């Protein structure tokens, strides 16, 4: 839980850093947050493995650890987006809407379908964008947990042979 909190703070820090260098984020999820999630998941998974007495860990254990870390990080990041869009960068929801509308207009579909989707997007408020960011971060944590578990596992499960009852 604590590592997930730290990972969420790292994601939030990446967004604030972008704002400080005059590159405010245009969507609740982007490459900056994806990279921050991957790096933090790798770091904390490596640290978790090294804190174990024999430094041995199964793939499944690291996968579960990474998923829990990602879910906690996603909640923290979603709450941060509420703060960010409400206090730090009040233009954030409008930029998100512009970005998603531009993507929808470039996408496939009839003009009526695009217009209907855009009309729904126009109803989105800050809490909707924060939820989208948190949800996508949670989904992305599945992939980052898989990568970290694949890289840092040290044990393989023992495969037991089935006995024939012939």
The structural domains of the chain, with segments of one domain joined by +, span 2-152
Least confident of 9-13, 36-40, 113-117, 126-130: 113-117
Mean pLDDT of 64-79: 95
Q: What are phi and psi of 155, to 5 degrees?
A: -120, 150
pLDDT greater than 70 at residue 8:
yes
- What distance, in Å, lies between the first and last C-alpha atoms of the chain? 50
Q: To the nearest whole percent, how much of the chain has pLDDT over 90?
A: 53
Q: Tell me if residue 156 falls in helix, strand or coil.
A: coil
132 band by pLDDT with thresholds 50, 70 and 90: very high
What is the average pLDDT score of the chain? Answer: 88
Is residue 166 scored above 70 in pLDDT?
A: no
pLDDT digits (tens, 9 = 90+) for 28-54: 888 999 999 999 999 999 999 988 888
The residue-averaged pLDDT of 96-109 equals 87
Among left, alpha and beta (phi > 0; psi -120 to 50; other), residue 107 is beta
Six-digit token string for 5:
């909190």
């Amino acid at each position: 839980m604590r590592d997930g909190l730290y990972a969420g703070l790292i994601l939030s820090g990446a967004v604030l850093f972008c704002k400080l260098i005059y590159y405010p984020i245009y969507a609740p999820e982007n490459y900056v947050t994806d990279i921050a999630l991957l790096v933090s998941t790798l770091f904390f998974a490596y640290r978790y493995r090294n804190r174990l007495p024999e430094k041995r860990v199964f793939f499944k254990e690291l996968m579960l650890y990474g998923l829990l870390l990602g879910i906690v990080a996603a909640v923290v990041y979603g709450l941060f987006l509420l703060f960010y869009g409400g206090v730090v960068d009040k233009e954030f929801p409008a930029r998100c809407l512009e970005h998603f509308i531009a993507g929808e207009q470039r996408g496939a579909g009839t003009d009526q379908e695009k217009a209907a989707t855009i009309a729904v997007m126009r109803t989105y408020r800050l809490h909707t964008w924060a939820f989208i960011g948190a949800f996508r971060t949670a989904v992305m944590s599945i992939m980052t947990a898989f990568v970290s578990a694949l890289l840092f596992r040290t044990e393989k499960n023992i495969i037991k042979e089935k006995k024939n009852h012939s």
